[in-house]
């Protein structure tokens, strides 16, 4: 996981600073420019912004109502047109595709064939085209890899099940799975009956039998699956599903297995990215960073660190000290860890349901996690304030609704969705593109600001103490001797005037960027900052 960095742009910025250009502001979503008018673009390697996509609900190319890979290819300019200064794209650096392999369900977390793209999404050739198109735009593609379980319709399981029913207990596919007799069942795990007194472990659903990851034949299959998608298709890495279920209740064995997955990826590329889903407490998540990056679930959800700060349940001071402490706990385990903040994903109610755009909460939450370390993940539709929650029908399909393009896209909500579309009040892509005050344009600006101030993503953090304020706080981030200050005012209505020298000895000389409901000024160490506004100081 190498870190790349362009030194020249920083020199240019420094020269600009020396030449007394004073306050630099990023306006109209353009990059900083040097004295010749050339754009300054940084490469922060894997410390970049990803975008999670449910392909089946994103964009439909053939009119069957199901989103597909060619539909996604048609929408790539929306995500990143390859020209950072065009101002026409959201500006994400990578995409995570939820499972694309042939599967039994609409969500495809139950794989039937690991080597084939599901026919409702297209072909393997389409995936190769997608990867090539993304590479042309300097975008990375990672795909969901579900190793804990397969579908009961997978040929491995069908063969195993048939062999047991025929009394052929030496069939090799039986030991591909966690198949046991009743007296071998372990407490805390869920089993379903096969025949002749045999049972299979399936902790998620009876349609998802769990693989035996100790089996060398299974590991050889996984190795070939990794090789195929990385070498032949060209994906940049994987999002690893349900890693704590690999060996349920045994973190040490899970971490050991993830290290093996990592070593397999190393065989096929020296530059790749793995991120795992360990939906657990902060301490456990941190321990998994020994093997791979993991989503930082403590940041996410309606009661997570981001929302708590954006809605003033917690002070900004608490938030920045949480960032710092959590990061330290991860870096003790792995000094090179790349953290993974996010607000919501496909298993959670959408953030715009509990964060108000009108009142500026959603924008503040975005500031809080995009203007921080690591690899932030945006869930598709978050950038336009799409809503969607389980509802009384208790269905995850409502969290994975069709992208609201507002044009002639024929994509439809997934099977089982019941969400009332009249609740989608925040507007479509088409509407928001035209509106400079829209959430979409806000996210676009935020992503540019992050790119233009790479110390935020790459630097060492110093949490500053402004404990006298509940709605104000910030941190320093230092990378290769250069320091930025990131400060937030989460107040709904109060402009604050703060003497920064009360919290830090660092002397800021100019405002590199402002984003929020209002403006900011800096005079000596005195910062005046509007409500629901964040600043980057240099």
Question: At closest approach, how far in Å is the CB of 95 from Ca ion?
Answer: 18
Question: At closest approach, how far in Å is the CB of 488 from Ca ion?
Answer: 41
C-alpha span between 432 and 424 (Å, rounded): 13
C-alpha span between 338 and 50 (Å, rounded): 13
C-alpha span between 377 and 370 (Å, rounded): 9
Which is closer to Ca ion, CB of 64 or CB of 480?
A: 64
Question: At closest approach, how far in Å is the CB of 55 from Ca ion?
Answer: 9
Which is closer to Ca ion, CB of 5 or CB of 204?
A: 204
**Alpha helices in 343-425, H assignment, sequence order:** 361-370
Q: Which of 238, 262, 258 is nearest to 250 (CA)?
A: 258
Question: At closest approach, how far in Å is the CB of 243 from Ca ion?
Answer: 10
Site string for Ca ion, 9-48 (x = CB under 5 A): ----------------------------------------
Neighbours of 365 (CB within 10 A): 24
Question: At closest approach, how far in Å is the CB of 100 from Ca ion?
Answer: 13
Of 1-9, 56-64, 367-375, 396-404, which segment contacts Ca ion by CB under 5 A? 56-64
> Could you say whether residue 186 binds Ca ion (CB under 5 A)?
no
> Could you say whether residue 361 binds Ca ion (CB under 5 A)?
no
CA angle 370, 364, 446 (to 5 degrees): 40
> Could you say whether residue 232 binds Ca ion (CB under 5 A)?
no
C-alpha span between 445 and 434 (Å, rounded): 14
210, 277, 361, 409: which is the annotated catalytic residue? Answer: 277
> Could you say whether residue 64 binds Ca ion (CB under 5 A)?
yes
Site string for Ca ion, 239-268 (x = CB under 5 A): ------x-----------------------
Neighbours of 407 (CB within 10 A): 9
Which is closer to Ca ion, CB of 178 or CB of 424?
A: 178
Question: At closest approach, how far in Å is the CB of 282 from Ca ion?
Answer: 23
Which is closer to Ca ion, CB of 210 or CB of 241?
A: 210
Rg (the chain; Cα; Å): 24
Q: Which of 44, 59, 80, 148 binds Ca ion (CB under 5 A)?
A: 148
Q: Which of 60, 361, 413, 455 binds Ca ion (CB under 5 A)?
A: 60
Active site residue 331: no
Which is closer to Ca ion, CB of 74 or CB of 171?
A: 74
Write phi, then psi, for 527 (nearest 5 degrees): -105, 130
Q: Which of 52, 68, 144, 241 binds Ca ion (CB under 5 A)?
A: 68
Please, which residues have CB within 8 angstroms of residue 45's CB and are 6 or more apart in sequence?
1, 2, 3, 4, 5
C-alpha span between 212 and 238 (Å, rounded): 20
Which is closer to Ca ion, CB of 88 or CB of 253?
A: 253
60, 93, 126, 241: which is the annotated catalytic residue? Answer: 241
Q: Which residues of 256-280 are buried (b: 16+ CB within 10 A; e: fewer)?
A: ebbeebeebbeeeeeebbbbbbbbb
Which is closer to Ca ion, CB of 175 or CB of 356?
A: 175
Q: Which of 62, 186, 217, 231 binds Ca ion (CB under 5 A)?
A: 62
Question: At closest approach, how far in Å is the CB of 118 from Ca ion?
Answer: 11
Q: Which of 213, 63, 206, 53 is nearest to 143 (CA)?
A: 53
Q: Which of 52, 118, 126, 210 binds Ca ion (CB under 5 A)?
A: 210
- Using CB under 5 A as the binding criterion, the count of chain residues that bind Ca ion stands at 8
Question: At closest approach, how far in Å is the CB of 432 from Ca ion?
Answer: 24
Active site residue 277: yes
Do the beta carbons of residue 365 and residue 351 sit within 8 Å?
A: yes
Q: Where in 440-510 does DSSP place strands (E)?
A: 460-463, 472-479, 482-489, 496-499
Which is closer to Ca ion, CB of 203 or CB of 528?
A: 203
C-alpha span between 157 and 174 (Å, rounded): 8
Which is closer to Ca ion, CB of 16 or CB of 117?
A: 117
Q: Where in 89-197 does DSSP place strands (E)?
A: 94-97, 101-103, 111-117, 140-145, 179-181, 191-193
Mind giving me the DSSP string for 203-234?
A: SS-TT-PBB-TT-HHHHHHHHHHHHIIIIII-
> Could you say whether residue 66 binds Ca ion (CB under 5 A)?
yes
Question: At closest approach, how far in Å is the CB of 239 from Ca ion?
Answer: 17
Catalog residues that contact Ca ion under the rule CB under 5 A: 60, 62, 64, 66, 68, 148, 210, 245
Residues designated catalytic: 241, 277
């Amino acid at each position: 996981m190498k870190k790349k960095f362009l030194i020249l742009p920083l020199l240019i910025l420094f020269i600009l600073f020396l030449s007394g250009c004073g306050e630099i502001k990023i306006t109209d979503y353009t990059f900083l420019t040097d004295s010749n008018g050339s754009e300054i673009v940084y490469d922060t390697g894997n410390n970049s912004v990803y975008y999670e996509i449910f392909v089946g609900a994103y964009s439909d190319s053939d009119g069957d109502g199901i989103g597909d890979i060619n539909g996604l290819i048609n929408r790539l300019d929306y995500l990143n047109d390859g020209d950072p200064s065009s101002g026409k794209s959201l500006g994400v650096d990578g995409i995570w595709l939820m499972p694309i392999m042939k599967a039994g369900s609409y969500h495809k977390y139950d794989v039937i064939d690991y080597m084939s793209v599901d026919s409702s999404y297209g072909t393997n050739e389409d995936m190769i085209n997608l990867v090539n198109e993304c590479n042309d735009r300097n975008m990375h593609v990672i795909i969901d890899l579900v190793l804990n379980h397969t579908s009961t319709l997978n040929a491995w399981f069908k063969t195993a099940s048939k062999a047991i029913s025929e009394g052929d207990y030496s069939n090799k596919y039986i030991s591909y799975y966690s198949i046991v007799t009743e007296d071998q069942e372990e407490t805390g795990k869920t089993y379903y009956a096969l025949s002749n007194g045999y049972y299979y472990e399936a902790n998620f659903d009876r349609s998802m039998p769990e693989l035996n990851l100790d089996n060398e034949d299974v590991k050889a299959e996984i190795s070939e699956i990794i090789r195929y998608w990385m070498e032949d298709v060209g994906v940049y890495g994987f999002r690893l599903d349900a890693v704590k279920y690999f060996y349920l209740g045994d973190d040490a064995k899970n971490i050991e297995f993830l290290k093996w997955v990592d070593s397999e990826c190393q065989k096929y590329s020296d530059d790749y990215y793995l991120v795992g889903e360990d939906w657990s407490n902060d301490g456990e998540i941190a321990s998994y960073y020994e093997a791979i990056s993991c989503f930082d679930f403590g940041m996410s959800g309606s009661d997570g660190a981001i929302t708590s700060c954006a809605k003033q349940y917690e002070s900004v001071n608490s938030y920045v000290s949480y960032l710092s402490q959590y990061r330290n706990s991860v870096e003790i385990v792995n000094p090179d860890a790349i953290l993974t903040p996010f607000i919501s994903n496909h298993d959670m109610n959408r953030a715009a349901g509990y964060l108000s755009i009108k009142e500026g909460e959603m924008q503040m939450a975005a500031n809080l996690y995009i203007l921080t370390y690591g690899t932030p993940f945006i869930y598709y539709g978050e950038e336009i304030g799409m809503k969607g929650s389980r509802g009384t029908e208790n269905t995850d399909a409502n969290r994975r609704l069709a992208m609201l393009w507002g044009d002639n896209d024929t994509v439809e909500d997934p099977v089982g969705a019941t969400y009332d579309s009249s609740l989608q009040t925040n507007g479509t892509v088409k509407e928001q593109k035209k509106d400079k005050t829209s959430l979409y344009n806000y996210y676009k600006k935020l992503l540019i600001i992050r790119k233009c101030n790479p110390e935020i993503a790459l630097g060492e953090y110093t949490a500053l103490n402004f404990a006298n304020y509940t709605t104000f706080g910030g941190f320093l981030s230092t990378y290769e001797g250069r320091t930025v200050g990131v400060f937030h005012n989460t107040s709904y209505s109060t402009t604050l005037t703060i003497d920064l020298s009360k919290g830090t000895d660092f002397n800021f000389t100019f405002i590199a960027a402002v984003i929020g409901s209002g403006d900011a000024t800096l005079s000596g160490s005195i910062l005046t900052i509007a409500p629901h506004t964040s600043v980057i100081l240099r």
